[in-house]
Every structure is written in structure tokens, then in C-alpha cells.
Amino acid sequence: MNRTSPLSFARVPRSVLIVCTQRIGDVLLSTALVRSIKRQWPQAQIDMLVYQGTEGVLENNPDLRRVIGVARHAPLWRRLIEAARLWRQYDLACATIGSSTSRLYAWAGARKRVGLMEPHRANRLSRFLLDRTALDEHKRVHTVTSNLALTPLIGVSPHAEVVAPGVADEPGMRAAFDARLAPLQGRAFVVLHPYPMYRYKQWRLDGWVAMIGWLRERGYAVALSGGPAAAEVEYAARVVAAAGEPVLNLVGQLRLGETAELIRRAKLFIGPDTGATHIAAASGTPTIALFGPSNPVRWGPWPAGWPAGQEPWPHVGSARRGNVYLLQGEGTCVPCGFEGCDRHRDSESQCLTGMAVSRVTDAAAQLLDLPRPADAGGGASVIRLKVERD
């Protein structure tokens, strides 16, 4: 069997299962594959199987019929029961994660399956579970590109459109959401997302405080976004207290769909290497992404409207692509690819904590079409910037 040749179908698939058992960012970026399939086969009913806790990033996705949540950590017997419940309900299944768990669900769910395979990791079991495989060249291509590598296997044209979540188009939900944003009504505002899931992706508190002051001096209101975790809520409260400025603190108060809608209405979004920054990029809002040890080639936010087949980000250096300005920390070790300087998730990344505020205000001024700012208190810095526009 030629495992890289396209599958043949007696008829256009009527039901498709996309399996993405990974983090929120992976799930969001897999929506480009979903959009590609829906454009090719508009009558197909598409479901996604994801880990519980990541479903929010798919809220009100117009391409999906339903989202199936499974436990992130579960014994094999439970996985087998969940797989049995899916048994052959779909015409086609696509595993976007190169793991045995994803392949198991895909194998159970459909008679025809495709999936990603990391180089040199093919084995008999994976070849049995999948009919066709595409190489996941994760060291040199973006996650969106990896997902779209499955499209030739199913005869679908690739469309690199990441679909952000949204608010349900129901009067009650819209009214409740608008009420939360009442303090921003009629004002131009910027959204700051100060807290990533892991410390090694974190900037620093005084940097966020300085940004709040800089933005308000230029007439912008400021809103904070973030999730409900206790540490995240506490950190946001510290930022607001230290800023001493009026700030709409929405951390822990919004669903992901509402967060996406908040960002859509903003003039600018600034955040670290986290799911909300990917949402901001997909929404089309001007976005500043603060990157340190992570590989931007793989994980830089995919700019809205960026074409399939073109990698947006260099491995080293800050750059602007479409609506996204990726601001990378400085140092000969950047990006190291490790989880912080001490190589664990709760360690500091000095390339991020040492990032000058002036670099962020300079990028913000460009995206807001403001005069280039003077040093905002973080020390002078030279930005080597490549600019590309659609």
C-alpha cells in the first residue's frame, strides 16, 4: 500500500471526525483543517474529539456539528470504552496529533483514517490504525502546516484559516456579554493578557503596569483577559493594584468565546505565548505576541489571512506578519526550546523577564499607527524587524 497516496471514496464523506487530543492551542490551530474540509464538502457533518477543558476554544465554531470531550488522563480500559462508543460512526477520521491515543480514537471512529506521523516513529501498530499518514515535520514547519499536510491524503484543498471561537448569536447571551463591557462603551481599548498557563512563558508584572500607563496616556482604555485559575486571577489583581489606573479586569469572568469577541472589538491585543494570543491572531485584531524559549516557526500565532504553504515566522528574530507582530526575547540562546532557564514549567525565562518595555511600546505604536515612542522605562533596545504584509 502506498501510504501517502490519496484515499479513494465511493462517495463524498458525509461524516468526519477530527481527533486532537492535546492543548488548547493545538485544538484551535486544527480548525484550519476543519475549515478546509468544510469548504470542500459543505454537506459533511464534522465532529471534533478533544480533551476535556479544551472545548471552549471551539465555542460556536460554524464548521462543527458537535464537540466530544474525553478525559486527559485515563486508564487504557476507559480509552477502550470511549473508543467503542465511537465505533464506525464516521466515514472518515483525521488524527492531527501523532500519538497512539489519537490514532486509537480515529481507528475506532471510521473505516478510513489518516493521521500525522513523526519522522522515524512509524511502527506496525500505527500503520494498522491509520490508512494513510503524513509526516509531521514539527522542527521546521508551523502546526497549521502540519495539520494541512493531511489534506492531500483526503483530496481536499488546503485553506490556512484558523477559526476563533465566538459568542452565541442569542439575544440573552449577547446582552449579558455587552453588559460586562459597559465601562468600555464608546471608547477605544486595548486588551492585555498578562498570565500564561506556565511561568516560563511569563513577562513581568512591572512591564504590564508600564504598558497600562503608556496606553492610558495615549487615550486608550485597558481591559485584562484571562482564565479562572486562582493564580491567574490573583496575578491580574496585582497588576491592577500596582497600575493605580482604571482597568476593566475581566480575568476569570469570560468564556473563551466571549474573550474572542472582546478581542475582536479591541484596537490591539498584547499577550504571551498562550492560547488567547492565537485567538487574537485568528480574529484579525492587531496582535503583539511576546515570545521567549518557544520555537516561533512551530508556535508563532498564525496571522489572519496568511496563505497555506508559506511559513510565517523565522526561527530567530522579531518580525511582523499581517496583523501579528511577534516580539522575541534577546540572547544567543533564544529560542532554546526548553521550559525556562531551569528547564521546568515553573522556572523563569530571562529572555522574557529581561525584555525591555520600550520594545513592546515601540511595537504597539506601530500597530496603533502612533508616533514612535520614547523609552518607556525598560531600557533602550534595538529591534531587528522584518515586515511582510499580505
Tell me: the pLDDT tens digits for 276-300? 999 999 999 999 999 999 999 999 9
Nearest to 205 by CA among 344, 378, 333, 326: 378
Amino acid at 98: G
Domain end residue (candidates: 154, 184, 209): 154
Residue 139 and residue 230 in one domain = no
Residue 280 and residue 210 in one domain = yes
Residue 274 and residue 380 in one domain = yes
Would you state the pLDDT for residue 142? 97
User: The domain containing residue 341 runs over which residues?
Assistant: 172-388
Q: What share of the chain is helix, strand, coil (3-state, %, to 5)?
A: 35, 15, 50
User: Model confidence over 220-251: pLDDT tens digits?
Assistant: 999 999 999 999 999 999 999 999 989 999 99
Domain end residue (candidates: 154, 187, 210): 154
- CATH number reported for the structural domain that contains residue 92 in this entry: 3.40.50.2000
Residue 299 and residue 200 in one domain = yes
Q: CA-CA distance, 350 to 240, in Å (whole number)? A: 24
Would you state the pLDDT for residue 139? 76
Residue 290 and residue 192 in one domain = yes
pLDDT beyond 50 at 379:
no
- Given a contact cutoff of 8 angstroms between Cβ atoms, the answer to whether 48 and 58 are in contact is yes
pLDDT beyond 60 at 75:
yes
pLDDT range class, residue 168, cuts 50, 70, 90: confident
User: Model confidence over 126-143: pLDDT tens digits?
Assistant: 778 999 999 888 779 999
pLDDT range class, residue 125, cuts 50, 70, 90: confident
Amino acid at 28: L
Would you state the pLDDT for residue 5? 85
Would you state the pLDDT for residue 390? 39
CA distances from 362 to 138, 171, 189, 258, 357 (A): 31, 40, 18, 29, 9
In the three-class reduction of DSSP (H, G, I as helix; E, B as strand; rest coil), residue 253 is classed as: coil
Would you state the pLDDT for residue 381? 38
Tell me whether residue 353 is in a domain: yes
pLDDT range class, residue 173, cuts 50, 70, 90: confident
Mean residue pLDDT of the chain comes to: 92
